[in-house]
Structure 1
Amino acid sequence: MDHLACFTPGDLQSHPAPDLARFRWRLLAQGDSWFSTADDKIKAHANLLQEMVYKDPSCAVNCAGKGGALSHLVDLESAPDFVRLLSSPDAPAWDGVLLSMGGNDLISAAQTPAHQADGQRVPLHLRLLRHQTEWGAPSTGVARYFSEPGWATYSEYLRTNVRHLLTLRDQGASVGKPVFMHCYAVPMPRPAGSDDVGLGADQFSGPWLYPALKAYALPAADWAAVSRLMVFHLALLLKSMAADKEQFPGLHVFDSTTVPLAPATPGSSGSSGDWHNEIHLNHSGCFKIARAWSEHVEAVLNGVKTVEPSSKRRS
C-alpha cells in the first residue's frame, strides 16, 4: 500500500514538473480545511488526503491550498486553479475528483442567528435552528429544535452547486469521470476552537457549533444529539444525490458516519478522542476515515461494486 502522492497546482508549473504518467490513478482534489495544506493544520489535525493509501501508485493535485478560512461550496471564484484543471479542454484527463465540501456550509447555516441586528426575526427557511418560542413538541425529541424549512433551503443549495461542479467536470477532458465526496463525522459541540495563528475572526477560529447552540438556548444535554441529527441529515442528502444517477451522474459518496471514532469529551477544550478541536479530526481520526475512504475510492476506480457499510458500525 502506498500513500497518496500529493502535489499542488504550482508543482505542475515547476521545472521539472512531476511525472503524473507514472501513477496508476491521477486525481484532482478540492475542499475545505480537511484538505488544507497549511503547515499549522497539517501539524495540528492532519490532512485527510495525506492519510489515504492505495494498492496502485496514485497521486492527487490538491487545490485546497494553504488557506485557513472556512471554504464554502460556491467559493469557486477563489479556486481558479481547480476550475481550470477540472474544466479546461487542455487540462489533464483525471481518473477522478476528490471533494471535501458541504460541512462548512452546514456549520454556517447552523450559526445563522434567530434575529437580525435590528431585532427582526430571521425566517425559518433561512436558518437551521428554531428559537425557543418555535420549538416543537417534546415528543419529537431533538427534532423539535430543527428547522425543516431551513433544511430544505440548504438541501437545494447543496444539490444545485454539486450539479454545477459535475457540469464543470463534463466541460473538460475528465467528462464522466467519478467524483468522490465524503460525509462528515459527528462532532461534539464543545469550547474547543482553532489554535491556528492569525485567523482572528470567530467564524474561522471557532468554536463553531458550541456558541450557536448556546445562543439558541438549547439544553446542553441535547447538544450531542442535535449535532448528530444535522450530520446525519447531510449524510442522507449526499447519499440520495449519489443514488440519483440522472441528476448526479458519476457522483460517489462515502458515508464517514459509519467509521467508528472516539468521541471528544463534552466540555473539553483541547484535543480529545479522535478530535483536534470541535470540528477537525486529529491524526488518529484522519487516519481512520482516510483509510476507509481510500478503499471505497479505489474500488470504484477498479470498477468494483461498492457495498454500503453496515449500520452496526455507526458510532
Structure 2
Amino acid sequence: MDHLACHTPADLKSAAAPDLGAYRWRLLAQGDSWFSNASAKLNAHANLLQELMFAEPTVAVNCAGQSDALAHMVDLEAAPDFVQLLTDATRPAWSGILLSVGGNDLIEAAQTPAHTPDGQDVALHLRLLRRQTEWGPPSQGVARYFSEPGWATYAEYLRTNVKHLLTLRDQGPSAGRPVFMHCYAVPKPRPAGGESSGPWLYPTLKAYAIPSADWLAVSRLMVSHLAQLLKSMAADKENFPGLHVFDSTTVPLALAAPDATGVSGDWHNEIHLNHSGCFKIARAWSEHIQAVLLKQK
C-alpha cells in the first residue's frame, strides 16, 4: 500500500510537471477545509487526502487551494482550475473525482444568527437553529432546537450544486466516472479555533442559549442529517449517477475534551481533524474508493 501522491494545478504547469500517466489511477480533487493545502493544516497533518493509501500507484491533483477558513466548495467561480481540469477535452479521463462537500456549508448555515445586525428576525427557513421562544417540547430531545425548514433549504442547496458538479463531469472526457464523497465526523463544540478563524459552533450554540449539556447531541444531529442526505443522494442513481458516498460517521474517533482550547483527541481544533483523526477516516475511505476503482474497465 502506498500513500496517494498529491499535486496541485500549479504543479501541472511547472517545468517539473508530474507524469500522471505513470499512475494506475488518476484522481481530481476539490473540496472544503478537509482537503485544504494551507500550510498550517499540512503542518498539523490535517489534510485527509494525504492519508489515503492504495494498492496501486495513485495520484490526485488537488484544487482545494490554500485557504484555512470556511469556504463554499460549490462556489465554482472561485475554482477555475477544477472546472478546467474536469471539462478539458484535450486531457485523458480521470479515474475518479474526490469531493469534500457540505461540511463548511453546514457550519456556516448553523452560524446564521436569529436576527440581522439591525434587529430584524431571520426567517426560520434561512437558519438551522431555533430561538429559545421557538423551541419545541422537551419530549423532542435536541430536535427541539433544530429548524427543519432551514434544513430543507440547506438540503436543496446542496442537492442542486452536486447535480451541477455531476453535469460538469459529464460534459468532459470523464463522463460517467465515479465521484467519491465522504460524510463528516461529529465535532465537540468547544473554544478551539483555527489559526485565523473559529471557534465555530461554540459561540453559535451559546448565542442561541442552547444548554451546554446538549451541545454534542446537537452537533451529532446536524452531522447525521448531512450524512443521511449525502447517502440518499448516492442511492438516487437516476439523479446522481456515479456518486459514491462513504459514511465516515461510522469510524470511531476520540472526542476532544469539552474545554480543550487546542489539539485534543483526534481533533486539531473544534471542527478539523488532526493527524490521527485523518488517518482513521482516510484508511477506511481508501478501501471504499479502491473497491469501486477496481470494478472499472
Q: 1:18 maps to what in 2?
A: 18
Offset at 1:45? 4.3
Q: 1:224 maps to what in 2?
A: 216
Alpha-carbon distance in 2 for matches of 1:191, 1:289:
24
Q: 1:202 maps to what in 2?
A: none
1:147 equivalent in alignment to 2:147: yes
CA contact (8 A) 2:74 2:101 kept: no
Tell me the alpha carbon deviations over residues 12-44 of structure 1, each in whole angstroms, 9 at most, x when there is no partner.
112242111111100000011111112111112
Aligned residue among 288, 292, 310 for 2:284: 292
Alpha-carbon distance in 1 for matches of 2:137, 2:30:
41
Gaps of 5+ in 2: none
SS at match of 2:44: helix
Offset at 1:255? 0.3
Offset at 1:11? 1.2
Alignment of 1:78-117 (within 5 A): 78-117=78-117
Give the number of equivalent residue pairs. 296
Aligned residue among 252, 258, 267 for 2:244: 252
CA contact (8 A) 2:190 2:258 kept: yes
Alpha-carbon distance in 1 for matches of 2:295, 2:258:
42
Q: 1:125 maps to what in 2?
A: 125
Tell me the alpha carbon deviations over residues 219-262 of structure 1, each in whole angstroms, 9 at most, x when there is no partner.
00000000000000000000000000000000000000000000
Amino acid at match of 2:105: D
Alpha-carbon distance in 2 for matches of 1:49, 1:253:
15
Alpha-carbon distance in 2 for matches of 1:3, 1:168:
28
CA contact (8 A) 1:6 1:59 kept: yes
Gaps of 5+ in 1: 200-204, 305-315
Tell me the alpha carbon deviations over residues 138-185 of structure 1, each in whole angstroms, 9 at most, x when there is no partner.
000000000000000000000000000000001111000000000000
How high is the TM-score relative to the length of structure 2? 0.98
Q: 1:261 maps to what in 2?
A: 253
Amino acid at match of 1:87: T
CA contact (8 A) 1:31 1:100 kept: yes
Amino acid at match of 2:216: A
Instruction: Report the identity percentage.
Output: 76
Q: 1:56 maps to what in 2?
A: 56
SS at match of 1:34: helix
Offset at 1:92? 3.2
Amino acid at match of 1:294: S
Alpha-carbon distance in 2 for matches of 1:248, 1:143:
29
CA contact (8 A) 2:34 2:48 kept: yes
Alpha-carbon distance in 2 for matches of 1:174, 1:88:
9
CA contact (8 A) 1:90 1:172 kept: no
CA contact (8 A) 1:33 1:71 kept: yes
Moved over 2 A (4+): none
